[in-house]
Amino acid sequence: MTQKTQTRSGGRSARRAARATALPDHLRPVRPGLEGGTYKPLTPAEMDRIHGAALQALEEIGLADAPPSGVGYLTAAGAEQGADGRIRFPRALVEDAIARANRRIVLCGRDPAHDLDLSGHRVHYGTAGAAVHLVDALGRNYRESTLQDLHDAARITNVLDNIHFLQRPMVARDITDNCEMDLNTVYATTSGTTKHIGTSFYDPAHVKPAIDMLHMIAGGEDRWRERPFMSNSNCFVVPPMKFATESCLVMEECIRYGMPVLLLSAGMAGATAPSTVAGAIVQAVAECLAGLVYVQAVKPDHPAIFGTWPFGLDLRTGAMTGGSGEQALLTAGCAQMHKYYDLPGGAAAGIADAKLPDMQAGWEQMCSNVMAGLSGLNMVYEAAGMHASLLGFCHESLILGDDLIGQALRCVRGIEVSDETMALDQMREVCIGGPGHYLGTSQTLGRMQADHVYPALGDRTSPKEWDEKGKPDLIERATARKEEILANRSAARFDPALDARLREAFRIYLPA
């Protein structure tokens, strides 16, 4: 409808120069922890109903397969084990657990500048997952993911402003021993980024040596316990309504050693959860409430993230799908339930079903990411880099995700309404005897940095400029950026003395 305005070259170069200097924090248009919550897919009455159904499910159906230790903790707390072995949760027990939950969770970074405050509707985006492939975007190829790929993902995350944490996004398939894989995952991620990290453990026995490594990195047990910079992503349930016996034991170990826990219920709507959005949310909420009771029964104040992560399913094929509108609703509805309970919560968004970072990937990643942010989800997991319905992770897509999430964060920040922003005085000056445009007003120039998110790789040139620049390709630009990041020494790397001690104590597969 409207053509581009003419560029005024004097103003243009001045504005370009102003942008070239790094932004002080108060001028950054977006940052971690912006408050969402303006999008509310559920009414208060609907949340009451979902809560009521979850309580009923816990009281009447309960959960099977708790490990003996868990049965002990839970029955001592007031849960009941039936003749069928299932643990059932009286309503009052669940309500007490909600009332007493730890609501003041801060997930620490190794660098305190990266700490994440999970209170209120504060929104943070990061990676997660267990992809088994690395996606070569330029080569259009999938291959098995390696430890080096994981380390590179950590290093890339460390320099991207809008990727606020690194949860282990892919599996190091080049390490066959599960314990060595878990330990090298800790090494490869912590040595790549000073942001908060999430990881998983295959076996409860792997937790203790990992903690030994984390104590060394932290500079002692006290310092680790004071600022644990790694959390445990724990699939404590096998939906529907069964505890994951081994994972529960991992959880108990993590609680023992002061590692925050993400209580992750990853049902698939239509397979391991009801196919309806509401039903999948009810079940995920019920399962995570059971997890909350469990954590508190082990240690009352332990930090636990309410991780309702229902996934979508393509019912035509029975295969998982994460790029749908249904997925975006599942996640946003869960986020609203977290805040119904005023609990720090997390869920999955940003998953692409697309195999490559193409247009489909862009729309899939944005849809659930922006809705997650607007709904006020504290931890948006799997937000960048995830393809093929979680089977592939892509470094170039992670880098492009930083741009994508920057725009989503701008939406989360929302619309500021004040006398200054409504700009009536400016309007009067511009229109009546003024220049008839706002290009040079002090408010336009003064706010050009603080109000606007400029893409790093996203292209805004005119067709003419684009043609003159040789029609730059988005994937080629992301690949070049990746190579530039990885060519530099990482600011997150360990000092050589610590690194030598770690390599002496553990078999580290990454080259020194």
Residue 392 touching a copy of itself (CB under 8 A): yes
Residue 509 touching a copy of itself (CB under 8 A): no
With a CB cutoff of 8 Å and minimum separation 6, the contacts of 171 are: 130, 131, 132, 145, 181
> What residues between 142 and 171 interact with a copy of itself by CB under 8 A?
142
Residue 442 touching a copy of itself (CB under 8 A): no
Residue 71 touching a copy of itself (CB under 8 A): no
What is the distance between the alpha carbons of residues 319 and 351, in angstroms, rounded to a whole number? 14
What is the distance between the alpha carbons of residues 221 and 502, in angstroms, rounded to a whole number? 15
> How many other CB atoms are there within 10 angstroms of residue 15's CB atom?
16
Residue 290 touching a copy of itself (CB under 8 A): no
Task: Point out which span in 189-197, 218-226, 464-472, 480-488 binds a copy of itself (CB under 8 A).
Answer: 464-472
Q: Exposed e or buried b for every residue in 342-357, given b needs 16+ CB within 10 A?
A: ebbbbbbbbbbbbbbb
Taking alpha carbons only, the member of 385, 376, 384, 312 closest to residue 345 is 376
- Which structure tokens are listed for 8? 């005024």
- Which structure tokens are listed for 160? 């991207």
Give the total of residues touching a copy of itself (CB under 8 A): 155
Point out which residues pair with 505 in neighbouring strands. Answer: none
Q: Which is nearer to a copy of itself, 107 or 171 (CB)?
A: 171
The site string for a copy of itself over 27-56 (x = CB under 8 A, - otherwise) reads -----------xxxxx---x--xx--x--x
Shortest reach from residue 47's CB to a copy of itself, in Å: 9
Place of tokens 């504005």: 15
> What residues between 364 and 383 interact with a copy of itself by CB under 8 A?
364-367, 370-371, 374, 381-382
Taking alpha carbons only, the member of 384, 377, 307 closest to residue 339 is 377
- Which structure tokens are listed for 289? 């409430």
Among 160, 289, 348, 379, binds a copy of itself (CB under 8 A): 348
What is the distance between the alpha carbons of residues 171 and 371, in angstroms, rounded to a whole number? 28
Among 191, 231, 283, 296, binds a copy of itself (CB under 8 A): 283
Q: Which is nearer to a copy of itself, 7 or 69 (CB)?
A: 7
Taking alpha carbons only, the member of 399, 369, 363, 395 closest to residue 382 is 369
Residue 245 touching a copy of itself (CB under 8 A): no
Residue 388 touching a copy of itself (CB under 8 A): yes
> What residues between 404 and 433 interact with a copy of itself by CB under 8 A?
404, 406-411, 413-418, 420-424, 426-428, 430-432
> What residues between 86 and 105 interact with a copy of itself by CB under 8 A?
86
Among 273, 284, 292, 343, binds a copy of itself (CB under 8 A): 273
What is the distance between the alpha carbons of residues 307 and 234, in angstroms, rounded to a whole number? 9
